[in-house]
């Protein structure tokens, strides 16, 4: 059964990507927490100033002081938004794509068990799916860990996944049997 390696790889890769995503997000959350606290302090001051008609310690603030407080609040909000970018990048990038490509390998492995084409063609399809997952979501994980050297290799993975889909579609058209086949 040539598809067996895709099924095994898919389940193991799913465990890896499903656990690495939250681990990486949790690792990045302290930065978000610090930014959230700073934002809350700055914006709370602005709210307090507004409620007290821009008086602080019983003294009226100048336009310059109000502008500075407003700028501090805006910059704190911006810092919070920027601190969320890496977290959202992990959730939307390697974590989601890794889970999807793991499931795709499981499905491809099962489908390969029902296709009667040459063993070489099935091996090519099988390895294209595995390499596509590793070269796409696997490299996305490395990129999010600061490994910039993977950037030039990154476009290869999605093309391999698309090639795998095309090849398995052709193989299914030629030799899908609807029952398990012997390789």
Q: Which of 5-9, 87-91, 113-117, 124-128 shows the lowest mean pLDDT across its residues?
A: 87-91
In a domain, 182, yes or no: no
Cα-based angle 136, 83, 45 (whole degrees, multiple of 5): 165
Q: How many domains, in total, are found in the chain?
A: 1
In a domain, 140, yes or no: yes
Q: Given this model, what pLDDT does residue 8 score?
A: 97
Q: Given this model, what pLDDT does residue 50 score?
A: 86
Dihedral pair phi/psi, residue 176, rounded to 5°:
-70, 125
C-alpha torsion 76→92→19→163, nearest 10: -160
- pTM, whole model, 2 decimals? 0.72
Q: Which residue has the higher pLDDT, 141 or 122?
A: 122
What is the domain extent for residue 57?
Answer: 4-175
pLDDT digits (tens, 9 = 90+) for 8-62: 999 999 999 888 767 766 676 677 778 888 888 888 888 888 888 888 887 888 8
């Amino acid at each position: 059964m040539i598809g067996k390696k895709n099924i095994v790889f898919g389940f193991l890769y799913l465990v890896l990507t499903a656990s690495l995503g939250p681990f990486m997000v949790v690792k990045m959350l302290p930065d978000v927490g610090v930014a959230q606290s700073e934002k809350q302090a700055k914006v709370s001051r602005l709210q307090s100033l507004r409620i007290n008609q821009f008086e602080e310690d019983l003294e009226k603030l100048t336009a310059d002081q109000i502008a500075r407080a407003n700028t501090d609040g805006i910059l704190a909000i911006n810092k919070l938004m920027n601190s969320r970018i890496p977290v959202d990048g992990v959730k939307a990038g390697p974590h989601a794509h890794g889970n999807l490509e793991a499931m795709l390998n499981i499905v491809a492995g099962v489908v390969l068990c029902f296709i009667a084409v040459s063993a070489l063609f099935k091996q090519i399809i099988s390895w294209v799916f595995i390499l596509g997952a590793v070269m796409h979501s696997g490299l996305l994980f490395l990129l999010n860990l600061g490994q910039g050297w993977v950037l030039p290799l990154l476009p290869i993975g999605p093309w391999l996944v698309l090639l795998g889909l095309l090849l398995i579609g052709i193989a299914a058209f030629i030799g899908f049997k609807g029952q398990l086949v012997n390789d």
